[in-house]
Chain A
């Protein structure tokens, strides 16, 4: 057969290798989604927890907490619950990554002519899908409880971008943690930490109501600007002062985690 294609061999090889990379990623994403669907206990927890927390804070503590905030407590609460749930659901990536590296399947991936690191991309993508599901659920329950977001389409898009950025950041950090830890308990501890961290932010109560040490932690940790930015975008609050600080926290954290991951992966699988 004669070659009529004008592409140089190098270009052909490059487009070929990016096509196979995409095909590998597709296989790995499908695998991770199957994992999610077949571990229903983890999935149900991931979906039930957001609902429980929203309900508990709205109806159990809501009455008391209404007084602590300047706005309707439900409006105050929803962004905090969103961040907590995303942290919990995306944090689970650490366990998935650790389990893969602890099992024989990683040897199979490594012995194939594929970039085995795509297995991590699969986990992060599945994590993103799980969080989208969990976030939708949180918003649904909140709306049912009386939450009425007043965001313009542009604000919705910005909020969505921050939520996705936050999810990806947590998922990649969780991936790095999964590559670092040496036991599944340590991987789980990371998720627990992510559930706890919002309590030390403006998620549930304004930092001004905390003792001074906790207040300075709450005011200077990344979750506070993220949560505040979502409040500004979704509820009646004025201004968007926290949007840039939130992005300024998230982008370097994500770049750091994404950069560290291949190195940690090689270190973990090196013999």
Chain B
């Protein structure tokens, strides 16, 4: 059976006592893509993915995961989905290999398969040397790796990763990213939460930005950036006379931000070569050449800061 949308949640609400964690969240992740749930700390990301992985119940709303109903088919969903949480879900007293073999058996692989797949995954995640050491002796990065390896056992259709790279060094983060790329290449659907915009930008096909339990924006990384409008030109001038003259001229174009100390002007611009050539020509002919020209595209950080609430922005 082919499912267009691997994950389809509608109007998910969830509260813990007085605290409203989710206030009607929709989430769509097409099969074979990376859907990213982005948001500041406390936005409700973990609660949302725990609901997707059937570990938490919802107060109201409906959801389908891998074509199955969250409310009635939790057991079968668990055959198709794995969650790698923020804290490695492993048995510290067992070795890495024993953990993988145990989880493989519980994921319904027979003894032989369990042993073989555990060995393969240890190789793939560069953990063979540490395979027969207890997990309690592993470093943070190794724990994340073995935890992710555990999630791949039984070839799930959907893998949910809750802040998979929080606290990892850049190299481990790169390794994890490449594994995620490989998995998507093999057709796995990935749901990823993160508070790192760079990560969402690098991995996500589709971002759901949530804040205080609500969806504040959805779209591809490019869509979200485009929502903030066009690119920005930043011109820096060599002396204040040139700066002032250029400013007078450019103000006519519309909204220009001037920085009188750094002699810098910035304004929105359509970043095609024709527009840029025309602009630079105009400045040259007016005898007000810029000492330095920069173009910037809005980053996801801009989107994030603009769309998430000042309260949470201030907390960051």
Contact = CB atoms under 8 A, between A and B. Distances in A.
Contacts of A133: none
A114 interface: yes
Interface in B80-114: 81-83, 85, 87-94, 98, 102-103, 105-108
A30 B101 CA distance: 12
Contacts of B55: 107, 110-111, 271
B78 interface: yes
A20 B108 contact: yes
A104 B89 contact: yes
B106 A114 contact: yes
A112 interface: yes
A232 to B, nearest CB: 41
A30 B102 CA distance: 9
B56 A111 contact: no
B54 A111 contact: yes
A39 B83 contact: no
Interface in A89-116: 103-114
Most chain A CB atoms below 10 A, which of B89, B93, B106: B106
B253 interface: no
Contact of B106 (A34, A103, A109, A270): A109
Given A23-B105, A111-B54, A31 B91 contact: yes
A27 B93 CA distance: 15
B107 A34 contact: no
A19 to B, nearest CB: 11
Contact of B91 (A105, A112, A113): A105
A75 interface: no
Nearest to A27: B105
Interface in A139-170: none
A113 B75 contact: yes
A197 B134 CA distance: 37
Nearest to A116: B106
Interface string B98-140: 1000110111100000000000000000000000001000000
Contacts of A112: 78, 103, 106-107
Contact of B56 (A103, A104, A271): A271
A111 B159 CA distance: 11
Contact of A108 (B57, B75, B89): B89
A239 to B, nearest CB: 47
Given A107-B85, A112-B107, A271 B50 contact: yes
A113 B76 contact: yes
A104 B87 contact: yes
A180 B55 CA distance: 20
Contacts of B89: 104-108, 111
A35 interface: yes
A24 B90 contact: no
A31 B103 contact: no
A157 B87 CA distance: 48
B260 interface: no
Contacts of A270: 57
Given A31-B94, A104-B88, A114-B106, A271 B82 contact: no
A245 to B, nearest CB: 40
Contact of B90 (A105, A111, A271): A105
A69 B102 CA distance: 52
A127 to B, nearest CB: 16
Nearest to A24: B106
Ranked 9 nearest A-B pairs via Cβ: A108-B89, A271-B56, A104-B89, A113-B79, A113-B78, A114-B106, A104-B87, A107-B89, A112-B106
Given A24-B106, A108-B150, 15 more contacts: A23-B105, A27-B105, A27-B106, A31-B94, A34-B93, A104-B85, A104-B87, A104-B88, A106-B89, A107-B55, A108-B103, A111-B78, A111-B82, A111-B83, A113-B78
15 contacts: A27-B102, A27-B105, A31-B91, A103-B92, A104-B85, A104-B87, A105-B89, A106-B89, A108-B103, A110-B55, A111-B54, A111-B81, A111-B83, A113-B79, A271-B57
Interface of A: 20, 23-24, 27, 30-31, 34-35, 38-39, 103-114, 270-271
